[in-house]
Amino acid sequence: MVRGILGKKVGMTQIFDDEGRVIPVTVIEAGPCVVVQRKTGERDGYQAVQLGLVERAPRRNAPKPLQGHFGKAGVPPTRLLGEVPVDADDAAKPGDSVLADIFAVDERVHVIGRSKGRGFQGVIKRHGYKGGRATHGSMFHRAPGSIGASADPSRVYPGTRLPGHMGDARVTVKNAKVVKVDTDRNLLFIKGGVPGARNSYVRIVKVT
Protein backbone atom coordinates (compact mmCIF):
# COMPACT_ATOMS: atom_id res chain seq x y z
CA MET A 1 0.00 0.00 0.00
CA VAL A 2 1.00 3.66 -0.37
CA ARG A 3 2.60 4.68 2.91
CA GLY A 4 2.22 8.44 2.79
CA ILE A 5 0.34 11.45 1.51
CA LEU A 6 0.80 15.17 0.84
CA GLY A 7 -1.26 17.77 2.62
CA LYS A 8 -1.70 21.34 3.78
CA LYS A 9 -1.62 22.56 7.36
CA VAL A 10 -4.96 24.08 8.36
CA GLY A 11 -4.17 25.12 11.94
CA MET A 12 -4.34 23.91 15.54
CA THR A 13 -7.28 23.14 17.80
CA GLN A 14 -8.13 20.79 20.65
CA ILE A 15 -10.39 17.78 20.97
CA PHE A 16 -11.55 15.66 23.90
CA ASP A 17 -10.96 11.93 24.24
CA ASP A 18 -13.39 9.41 25.71
CA GLU A 19 -12.18 10.19 29.23
CA GLY A 20 -12.68 13.93 28.85
CA ARG A 21 -9.01 14.85 28.55
CA VAL A 22 -8.01 17.72 26.28
CA ILE A 23 -5.68 16.77 23.40
CA PRO A 24 -3.98 19.54 21.38
CA VAL A 25 -4.03 18.61 17.70
CA THR A 26 -2.91 19.99 14.36
CA VAL A 27 -5.47 19.75 11.56
CA ILE A 28 -4.02 18.76 8.19
CA GLU A 29 -5.96 18.65 4.94
CA ALA A 30 -4.44 15.41 3.66
CA GLY A 31 -5.04 15.04 -0.03
CA PRO A 32 -6.70 14.22 -2.21
CA CYS A 33 -3.56 13.20 -4.07
CA VAL A 34 -3.01 11.59 -7.43
CA VAL A 35 -0.21 9.22 -8.42
CA VAL A 36 1.93 10.90 -11.08
CA GLN A 37 4.80 8.40 -11.38
CA ARG A 38 5.74 5.00 -10.01
CA LYS A 39 9.34 4.33 -8.94
CA THR A 40 10.43 0.69 -9.19
CA GLY A 41 13.44 -1.19 -7.93
CA GLU A 42 14.38 -2.39 -11.41
CA ARG A 43 14.40 1.06 -13.00
CA ASP A 44 15.07 3.46 -10.11
CA GLY A 45 16.62 1.30 -7.40
CA TYR A 46 13.86 1.87 -4.82
CA GLN A 47 10.11 1.60 -4.36
CA ALA A 48 8.09 4.81 -4.19
CA VAL A 49 5.31 6.79 -5.81
CA GLN A 50 5.37 10.42 -6.84
CA LEU A 51 2.22 12.18 -5.69
CA GLY A 52 0.64 15.43 -6.77
CA LEU A 53 -1.56 17.33 -4.33
CA VAL A 54 -4.92 18.17 -5.92
CA GLU A 55 -6.11 21.59 -4.74
CA ARG A 56 -9.33 23.51 -5.22
CA ALA A 57 -7.71 26.01 -7.57
CA PRO A 58 -5.92 24.13 -10.38
CA ARG A 59 -2.42 25.10 -11.41
CA ARG A 60 -2.15 27.30 -14.48
CA ASN A 61 0.72 28.07 -16.85
CA ALA A 62 2.79 25.01 -15.95
CA PRO A 63 6.10 24.78 -17.87
CA LYS A 64 6.06 22.51 -20.92
CA PRO A 65 8.37 19.89 -19.34
CA LEU A 66 5.93 19.56 -16.43
CA GLN A 67 2.98 19.43 -18.80
CA GLY A 68 4.62 16.50 -20.54
CA HIS A 69 5.43 14.81 -17.21
CA PHE A 70 1.83 15.05 -16.01
CA GLY A 71 0.53 14.23 -19.48
CA LYS A 72 2.15 10.78 -19.30
CA ALA A 73 0.05 10.05 -16.22
CA GLY A 74 -3.05 11.58 -17.76
CA VAL A 75 -3.58 14.00 -14.86
CA PRO A 76 -3.63 17.83 -14.75
CA PRO A 77 -0.53 19.61 -13.37
CA THR A 78 -0.36 20.29 -9.63
CA ARG A 79 1.63 22.84 -7.63
CA LEU A 80 3.16 20.32 -5.24
CA LEU A 81 4.96 17.08 -6.07
CA GLY A 82 6.46 14.72 -3.53
CA GLU A 83 7.57 11.13 -3.14
CA VAL A 84 6.35 8.71 -0.49
CA PRO A 85 7.35 5.06 0.04
CA VAL A 86 5.19 2.23 -1.17
CA ASP A 87 5.13 -1.51 -0.59
CA ALA A 88 6.81 -3.57 -3.28
CA ASP A 89 3.67 -5.61 -3.92
CA ASP A 90 1.39 -2.57 -4.17
CA ALA A 91 -0.37 -2.08 -7.51
CA ALA A 92 -0.45 1.73 -7.43
CA LYS A 93 -0.13 3.21 -10.90
CA PRO A 94 -0.24 6.70 -12.45
CA GLY A 95 -3.69 8.21 -12.25
CA ASP A 96 -4.72 6.46 -9.02
CA SER A 97 -6.09 8.52 -6.13
CA VAL A 98 -4.62 8.53 -2.63
CA LEU A 99 -6.92 9.75 0.16
CA ALA A 100 -6.75 10.25 3.91
CA ASP A 101 -8.43 6.88 4.51
CA ILE A 102 -5.04 5.13 4.24
CA PHE A 103 -4.43 6.26 7.85
CA ALA A 104 -6.04 4.90 11.01
CA VAL A 105 -6.62 6.26 14.50
CA ASP A 106 -3.68 5.74 16.91
CA GLU A 107 -1.32 5.16 13.98
CA ARG A 108 2.19 6.66 14.20
CA VAL A 109 3.45 8.91 11.41
CA HIS A 110 6.37 11.17 10.52
CA VAL A 111 5.38 14.70 9.46
CA ILE A 112 7.86 16.61 7.26
CA GLY A 113 7.54 20.32 6.60
CA ARG A 114 9.40 23.63 6.61
CA SER A 115 9.59 25.66 9.79
CA LYS A 116 8.51 29.29 9.93
CA GLY A 117 11.13 31.75 8.72
CA ARG A 118 12.45 34.04 11.49
CA GLY A 119 14.87 36.13 9.44
CA PHE A 120 18.27 37.22 10.77
CA GLN A 121 18.47 36.66 14.53
CA GLY A 122 21.06 37.08 17.26
CA VAL A 123 22.56 34.36 19.41
CA ILE A 124 20.10 34.81 22.29
CA LYS A 125 17.04 34.02 20.20
CA ARG A 126 18.75 31.70 17.75
CA HIS A 127 20.81 29.59 20.18
CA GLY A 128 19.49 30.44 23.63
CA TYR A 129 22.55 32.32 24.90
CA LYS A 130 22.12 33.91 28.32
CA GLY A 131 23.77 37.22 27.46
CA GLY A 132 25.43 39.63 29.85
CA ARG A 133 24.20 41.78 32.72
CA ALA A 134 21.94 44.68 31.83
CA THR A 135 22.95 47.08 34.64
CA HIS A 136 25.89 48.97 36.16
CA GLY A 137 27.14 50.32 32.86
CA SER A 138 27.64 46.95 31.27
CA MET A 139 28.26 47.10 27.52
CA PHE A 140 27.67 43.38 27.14
CA HIS A 141 23.94 42.68 26.85
CA ARG A 142 23.05 40.43 23.92
CA ALA A 143 26.46 39.83 22.37
CA PRO A 144 27.92 36.33 21.88
CA GLY A 145 31.15 37.01 23.78
CA SER A 146 34.52 35.66 22.73
CA ILE A 147 34.46 33.50 19.61
CA GLY A 148 38.20 32.77 19.43
CA ALA A 149 41.42 34.07 21.00
CA SER A 150 43.66 36.34 18.92
CA ALA A 151 46.91 34.43 19.55
CA ASP A 152 45.70 30.84 19.53
CA PRO A 153 43.82 29.62 17.52
CA SER A 154 43.72 33.02 15.73
CA ARG A 155 40.57 31.98 13.94
CA VAL A 156 36.95 31.08 14.50
CA TYR A 157 36.28 27.36 14.57
CA PRO A 158 33.79 25.98 12.04
CA GLY A 159 30.40 25.35 13.60
CA THR A 160 30.67 28.14 16.17
CA ARG A 161 27.17 29.28 17.10
CA LEU A 162 26.79 32.81 15.79
CA PRO A 163 24.01 35.16 14.64
CA GLY A 164 22.44 34.32 11.31
CA HIS A 165 19.38 33.19 9.43
CA MET A 166 16.88 31.33 11.60
CA GLY A 167 14.04 29.05 10.57
CA ASP A 168 12.79 28.19 7.07
CA ALA A 169 14.42 24.77 7.31
CA ARG A 170 13.19 21.25 6.73
CA VAL A 171 11.88 19.80 10.00
CA THR A 172 10.61 16.28 10.71
CA VAL A 173 8.32 15.49 13.62
CA LYS A 174 8.78 11.79 14.29
CA ASN A 175 6.29 9.27 15.70
CA ALA A 176 3.38 11.70 15.85
CA LYS A 177 0.06 10.10 16.76
CA VAL A 178 -3.03 10.21 14.55
CA VAL A 179 -5.88 11.13 16.89
CA LYS A 180 -8.74 11.36 14.39
CA VAL A 181 -9.38 10.78 10.69
CA ASP A 182 -12.18 12.61 8.86
CA THR A 183 -12.46 10.79 5.54
CA ASP A 184 -15.40 12.92 4.36
CA ARG A 185 -13.31 16.11 4.43
CA ASN A 186 -9.86 14.50 4.00
CA LEU A 187 -8.68 15.78 7.38
CA LEU A 188 -6.08 14.29 9.70
CA PHE A 189 -5.86 15.33 13.34
CA ILE A 190 -2.25 14.90 14.52
CA LYS A 191 -1.41 15.15 18.21
CA GLY A 192 0.85 18.11 19.02
CA GLY A 193 2.47 20.65 16.75
CA VAL A 194 3.55 20.34 13.15
CA PRO A 195 6.26 22.47 11.47
CA GLY A 196 5.19 25.35 9.27
CA ALA A 197 2.69 28.17 9.17
CA ARG A 198 -0.96 27.89 8.23
CA ASN A 199 -1.53 26.77 4.63
CA SER A 200 2.03 25.45 4.38
CA TYR A 201 2.61 22.09 2.70
CA VAL A 202 3.57 18.97 4.64
CA ARG A 203 4.25 15.32 3.89
CA ILE A 204 2.88 12.60 6.16
CA VAL A 205 4.56 9.19 6.06
CA LYS A 206 3.64 6.09 8.03
CA VAL A 207 6.20 4.75 10.49
CA THR A 208 7.52 1.44 9.19
Claim to verify: residue 50 and residue 69 sit in the same structural domain: yes
CB 4 within 8 A of CB 87: no
Claim to verify: residue 28 and residue 68 sit in the same structural domain: yes
Claim to verify: residue 124 and residue 201 sit in the same structural domain: no
Claim to verify: residue 42 and residue 8 sit in the same structural domain: yes
Claim to verify: residue 33 and residue 50 sit in the same structural domain: yes
Claim to verify: residue 29 and residue 126 sit in the same structural domain: no
pLDDT for the residue 163: 95
CB 176 within 8 A of CB 191: yes
Domain coverage including residue 125: 119-167
pLDDT in tens, 65-76: 988 988 888 888
pLDDT in tens, 133-190: 989 998 889 999 888 888 888 999 999 999 999 999 999 999 999 999 998 899 999 9
Claim to verify: residue 40 and residue 95 sit in the same structural domain: yes
Claim to verify: residue 100 and residue 29 sit in the same structural domain: yes
Q: What are phi and psi of 134, to 5 degrees?
A: -105, 10
Which amino acid type is present at position 12?
A: M
pLDDT in tens, 95-133: 888 898 889 998 999 999 999 999 999 999 999 999 899
Claim to verify: residue 105 and residue 25 sit in the same structural domain: yes
Q: Is the pLDDT of residue 10 over 90?
A: yes
Q: Which long-range contacts (CB under 8 A, 24 or more apart) does 171-175 make?
A: 171/112, 171/113, 171/114, 171/115, 171/195, 172/110, 172/111, 172/112, 173/110, 173/111, 173/112, 174/110, 174/207, 175/108, 175/109, 175/110, 175/207
Specify the number of domains making up the chain.
2
Claim to verify: residue 111 and residue 149 sit in the same structural domain: no
Q: Residue 193 maps to which CATH number? A: 2.40.30.10
pLDDT for the residue 2: 85
Claim to verify: residue 36 and residue 94 sit in the same structural domain: yes
Claim to verify: residue 64 and residue 144 sit in the same structural domain: no
